[in-house]
Amino acid sequence: MKPPEIPLEKILALEPPSLRMTVPDAWRDDNGHMNVRWYIAIFDDASDALHADMGLTPEYHRRHDSGTFDLEHHVQFLSEVMPGERVAVYVRYVAQSAKRFQYVMFLVNETRGKLAATLECLNAFADLRVRRTAPWPEVAAARIAAGVEASGKLDWEPPLCGAIHA
């Protein structure tokens, strides 16, 4: 899969970012850059913020004995991120079904002004009493639908691997 040819300003227009942080020095690996495992950690933390924006806060999940499950990921590592650099994660909604939500996250290295990685994700709502996927709660489903609709109006295609479908 070729790296996406998306102008950075179009990604930055997906404001606000789900997460913004400085990469800690402890994440440095033997090559001197941020280890691959931390890209996934950053995307995971950003998805927690994404879910909270949809009303699916930790408190909501405790009250309803629910959660979310990632079902598939496709990651593209595009450029190095070094400890001490500032990064931000932007989200583009792609598609939804009753139980699934497909989105793409963009890890932007703000220090260098470059796209560092993308993560395409298929996520599902889960009923933890039976540990199975379940329909999205009404408020979350409505927010996902609004995000998918807004995404469909953008003048650029999201970078999709072609193997993940909501």
Q: What is the CATH number of the domain that holds 72?
A: 3.10.129.10
In a domain, 136, yes or no: yes
Kindly state the percentage of the chain with pLDDT values over 70: 99
Q: Mean pLDDT over residues 134-151, rounded?
A: 97
Query: Could you tell me the residue range of the domain that residue 48 belongs to?
Result: 8-152
CA separation for the pair 36, 81 (Å, rounded): 10
In a domain, 145, yes or no: yes
In a domain, 2, yes or no: no
In a domain, 115, yes or no: yes
pTM (2 d.p.): 0.95
- Checking phi first, is residue 49 left (phi over 0); if not, alpha (psi -120 to 50) or beta? alpha
Average pLDDT over the chain, rounded to whole? 96
> What pLDDT was estimated at residue 1?
66
In a domain, 129, yes or no: yes
In a domain, 111, yes or no: yes
4 confidence band (pLDDT: 50, 70, 90)? confident
133 confidence band (pLDDT: 50, 70, 90)? very high
Q: Mean pLDDT over residues 49-73, rounded?
A: 96
Give tens-digit pLDDT for 69-104. 999 999 999 999 999 999 999 999 999 999 999 999
Q: What are the E-state strand segments in the chain? A: 19-22, 66-77, 86-96, 100-109, 114-127, 132-133
Q: Are 115 and 108 in contact (CB under 8 A)?
A: yes
* Pairing relationship of beta strands 100-109 and 114-127 according to DSSP bridges: antiparallel
Q: Mean pLDDT over residues 142-163, rounded?
A: 95
In a domain, 20, yes or no: yes
Q: Is the pLDDT of residue 2 over 80?
A: no
Give the total number of structural domains in the chain. Answer: 1
CA separation for the pair 116, 33 (Å, rounded): 12
